[in-house]
Amino acid sequence: MGFLLIYISIPILIKVAYLKDLYDKPDNERKVHRNYIPTLGGVGIFIAFFLAFSLSGYAEQFTAYPYLAGGLMALFFCGLKDDLIGLSPAKKLSVEILAILLLIYGSGTVIDNLYGVFGVYEIPYAAGVLLTVFTMIVVINAYNLIDGIDGLAAGIGGIASVFFGVGFWVGNEMALAVMCLLLTVVLCAYLLHNFHPANIFMGDTGSLVIGFLLAVMTVFFVQLNEAPGFVAYFGEASPILPVAFLALPLYDTLRVFVRRMLRGASPFTPDSDHIHHVLMKLGWGQRKAVVYLYMASILIICIGIVSSQLGVNIALTAIIASTLVFFPTFGFKRKLFKAIGLDLSALFHSEEEMELYAHLNSPKRKAEEQAEEV
C-alpha cells in the first residue's frame, strides 16, 4: 500500500509544483543541481507512511502511537511551511522539541541506561530525558543535513530503517519492525523518482518527518538489550548499533561542525563542505557518489554487527575506525594517496563528471566560499 501511494502521488505532486511554481532553484553555490526541481516529495512520503502504518493493524500495538502521530504531524506542517515560505531555525527547533516531548510523555521511554558505553550504565531519569531530547535533535538535524544530492537521504534512510527493523524483529518488537518495513518500502518507491537525475526533492517536509522516525527508532532500539532474542544475536550492543546505522549523517554533521569552527566560522553557517560535496569535488558524479556512500554505510553497519558480540566499547571503536576509513576526513587520506602517486579524481573520466569537477573547483567558486566564511 505504501509503495503504491508514493508511486502514484509523486507524479501528481510534481504537476502541482509546476502549476504553483514550487521549485528548489539552483544557486550556483551550495546546490549541485542545475534545473528547477519540485520540493513537495516530503508530502507524498508523509501521506504514504502515515496511512500505511495507521491502517496496518500494528499501530494500535504501539501504545504511544497517538503521540507519535501528533509529533509527525507537527513536523510535517513545520517542514511544509519551511519549504513553501521559509521558517527560522529557532522555530523549527521548537517544533522538534515539542514533538520529542510528546513522544516521551506518551511512551514513557527515555535513554536511561547506556549498558556500559564508556563505563556508564544506569543514569537518573532527568538526565535520561535530557539525553533523549539531545539524541533525537541530533539525529533529526543530522539527517536533514545529508539531503544534498539526488537519492542520498532517501537511500541512507532506507538502509538504516532496514537494519533497525531487523533488530526490532529479533527483539520481538513487531509494531516497530513493521514501522521500519513500511518506511523502507515508502523510501524505495520515492527513490524511483529521486535517484539521479531526480524529478522531485523531499524538502524539509520529508527530511524532518524521516529524521524524526529514525530518531524514534534510535531511542526504542537502545532498550533492546532487555530483549533476550536481540541479545542472542547482537549481544548488549543496542546503544551503539544505531551509531553504525546512522554513521553517515552523524559523522558528516560532526565533521562539518569541526571544520567550520577550525576556520573561525559559526558551526551553523551553510557551506559546500559536506561529504557528498567532497566526493563531487574529486570529480565523482552524483550516482557514483551516492552508490559509494550506500556501500560504505552498509560496510560500516556490517562491521558494527560482526563486532557486537565483543563488547559495546570494542564495537563502538570498530564503528568509529571504519567510519574514518570509508568516509572523507580532513584530506589526510587524499594526501597519502597523492604521495604514493594515486589521484582519486583521475579514476572518473566521464565528460559530465569532469565538467562538474571543474565547476565545483573553479577559482570563482572557491573565492565565493572563502567570502562566505569571512
Question: What pLDDT shows up at residue 273?
Answer: 81
Q: Has residue 98 been placed in a domain?
A: yes
Are 230 and 264 within one domain? no
Which residue, 239, 272, 289, sits at the end of a domain?
A: 239
Are 304 and 189 within one domain? no
CA distances from 215 to 173, 195, 209, 219 (A): 16, 24, 10, 6
Which residue positions in the chain have pLDDT lower than 70?
A: 1-2, 17, 19-36, 333-334, 337, 341-374
Q: Has residue 205 been placed in a domain?
A: yes
d(CA 322, CA 9): 39
* Cross-strand partners of 24: 37
Are 263 and 115 within one domain? no
Q: Has residue 246 been placed in a domain?
A: no
HSE of 243, CA atoms in CB hemisphere, 13 A: 22
Are 256 and 355 within one domain? yes
Question: What pLDDT shows up at residue 47?
Answer: 92
Are 235 and 267 within one domain? no
Question: What pLDDT shows up at residue 374?
Answer: 40
d(CA 308, CA 341): 37
Are 54 and 181 within one domain? yes
Are 194 and 54 within one domain? yes
Are 334 and 226 within one domain? no
- Ramachandran category for residue 256: left, alpha or beta (phi over 0 → left; psi -120 to 50 → alpha): alpha
Are 107 and 194 within one domain? yes
Question: What pLDDT shows up at residue 92?
Answer: 94
Domain ranges, residue 273: 251-374
Q: Has residue 245 been placed in a domain?
A: no
Instruction: Check: pTM over 0.75? Answer yes or no.
Output: yes
Are 218 and 257 within one domain? no
- How many structural domains compose the chain? 2
